Amino acid sequence: SLGGRTVNEAGLDVPADADVRWDPNRKAVRHARLSLPILYTDETILVLDKPAGLLAVASAPGLEDEDTAFARVQEYVRRLSPRRPYAGIVHRLDRDTSGALAFALSPEARGALRNLFREHRMDRRYVALVRGVPTADEGTIDLPIAEAYESGRRHVARPGEPSRPAITHYRVRERFAAGALLDVKLETGRQHQIRLHLAHQGWPIVGDPVYGVPDPALGRQFLHATRLAFDHPFTGERVEVDSPLPGELARHLERRIDQHHAAP
């Protein structure tokens, strides 16, 4: 145990003064494997690395048999703790957005994590490759998103239209001839928020088939949830989880950089 909680992560770096204890009489932890990479886990929280193409949750009620990240976590939990299995949805990622996705492993953890999201105390970072080049090095997009959801699309709310606040912060990491690589931070987390906000500014995400133009060479949208960071709701310790850029995005970005440098 580390600081009073069981830790299953091999190779975990701990401070020199950490309270680490081993009890040879403790009941063995059941062995179970999740079919997705685990970025962080303890007895109450699980953060996995979701690949593009996998739904986070079922696309509609009654379709629980769909292959989703949530279904895989549920199966993992049933194997890990068959007597009291619990997995709770905390937030979501679009099907073709990859990266860090958190789940709660107890009802109390779900409530606590959802409060962190609601109170904007969950640090969520993304990286996006966009068409179009922002003139400013950084900025904030503060545009409410309409509650209406039509034909798989959201839209920026018109005056008087029922809507919810939506705030997106961005910073330009690198500029290219006809695009840019952005670091994006969410203050709110509405469905399609980053994709819609950036497209509304004239910078649609590369490969986005809804708010931009599909990219057959890439086969997905270039949007990746690279970081989740928060104060653990029960221990108070800072949890910082990073998801590396997937291979297909890294290769696409490298080609873009090579083309930019080769241009006269």
Q: State the pTM of this model.
A: 0.84
From the list 19, 42, 49, 94, the catalytic residue is 94
* 210: DSSP letter: T
Digit-by-digit pLDDT tens for the chain (264 residues) are: 888 777 766 667 888 898 998 888 876 655 567 889 999 999 999 999 999 999 999 877 777 778 999 999 999 999 888 888 899 999 999 999 999 999 999 999 999 999 999 999 999 999 999 999 999 999 999 999 999 988 889 999 999 999 999 999 999 999 998 899 999 999 999 999 999 999 999 999 999 999 999 998 899 999 999 999 999 999 999 999 999 999 999 999 998 887 766 665
**How many whole angstroms separate alpha carbon 184 and alpha carbon 225?**
9
pLDDT, residue 212, reads: 94
Whether 49 is catalytic is no
Contacts of 206 (CB under 8 A, 6+ apart): 129, 130, 131, 179, 212, 215, 218, 221, 222, 252
Listed in sequence order, the residues at least 6 apart from 47 whose beta carbon sits closer than 8 Å to its beta carbon are 38, 39, 40, 41, 100, 101, 102, 103, 228, 241
pLDDT for the residue numbered 14: 85
Residue 246, CA distances (Å) to 52, 99, 225, 243 in order: 9, 8, 11, 8
Provide CB contacts within 8 A for 150, sequence distance 6+.
none
Query: Which residues, in sequence order, are bridge partners of residue 175?
Result: 180
